[in-house]
Structure 1
Amino acid sequence: MEARDLQDLTLSEFSPPRLAALGNQLIEIHQHLRSLLADSADLPDFSRSLRAHCLAFCGALDRHHTGEERGAFRALAASHPSLRPVLDELRRDHEQLAALLRRVEANPTKAELAGLAAVMESHFTFEEKRLAAVLNELP
């Protein structure tokens, strides 16, 4: 997954065959973000490389969530009104994750990263279960 894939994603950027796999792309992006966070486990606490890695990861996760809210979530709310409560819950998760990201940016330790990883994994799993199939079915 390239960095450009983590930029703001809007449905208008994709051709119809691309839209058919948007749910799959969501899972691929989540896997990439999981991998980035897992890579930080090998870095020592308080190292320069850990701080740089955390800042890059935090930026990528923030861009991913911003893109979801600007693009996919709006499209899903319009086409699947029954998903609005799920989307609201995911937005609340995004706010919680943003607060955790700020803590990690201020103090990138393995303990902070472990807490972020736990919340992020729960969020990603819920989002994938609730949205991936619906995204793949968008006309």
Structure 2
Amino acid sequence: MGTATGPNERLAAFGDELTEIHHRLQEELAALRGDVDAFLDGRGGRPRELKEHCLSFCAVLTRHHTGEDTGAFPLLATEFPELRPVLAKLAEDHQLVSGIVRSLEALLGGIAADPDATEAERVRRELDGLTAILTSHFAFEERRIVEALNSLPPGAGTTESLLGLPMDARG
């Protein structure tokens, strides 16, 4: 990581910031999974708190993917045309994730105070699906575009304009 020499220079390159955002999102998803498991096992939380946690995580994740789709991806497609097929695949992943997020939000929005085993299993399956796709998506994205993001000059934008989240956003 370099040191900033002027007011408009970043301390970290955009690709490194992307990796950090992904790490924070994975931590938050693990915390959400812990809360869901505790609730479904009768060990904690109320449906409203669980829904709020889910909505908060889902909003941050959606903001990140929307930022990439409207910020980083168009810029990378212009600067690195050879990445266009990769960027199209990543945008497709974003749509898949969006569908899972909507399904999870609906499930948790209607969850009973004392869910039966079938309802609990449906919620866990959705979370498992979201975890699996995000793990794969984040790893693929980092392998394929971090280097290109790191090569962008500081004036290319801000972390928020390119990646959807400021570096201090914790969701």
TM-score computed with the length of structure 1 as normaliser: 0.83
What is the CA distance between 1:19 and its match in structure 2? 8.5
What is the CA distance between 1:52 and its match in structure 2? 1.1
What is the aligned partner in structure 2 of residue 137 from structure 1? 151
2:30 matches 1:38 = yes
What is the aligned partner in structure 2 of residue 99 from structure 1? 99
2:18 aligned residue (18, 23, 26): 26
Residues 1-139 of structure 1 aligned to structure 2 (within 5 Å): 15=8, 17-18=9-10, 21-43=13-35, 44-45=39-40, 47-108=47-108, 109-139=123-153
Check whether the contact 1:23–1:133 (CA below 8 A) recurs between aligned residues: yes
More helix by share: 1
Unaligned runs of 5+ in 2: 1-6, 41-45, 109-122, 154-171
Bigger CA radius of gyration: 2
RMSD: 1.8
d(CA) in 1 for partners of 2:16 and 2:55?
26
Q: Which segments of structure 1 move beyond 4 Å, counting only runs of 4 or more?
A: none
What is the CA distance between 1:26 and its match in structure 2? 0.3
d(CA) in 2 for partners of 1:69 and 1:42?
29
d(CA) in 2 for partners of 1:129 and 1:96?
20
2:26 is aligned with what amino acid?
Answer: R
Secondary structure of the residue aligned to 1:18 is: coil
Aligned length: 125
Secondary structure of the residue aligned to 1:107 is: helix
Unaligned runs of 5+ in 1: 1-13
Identity of aligned residues (%): 47
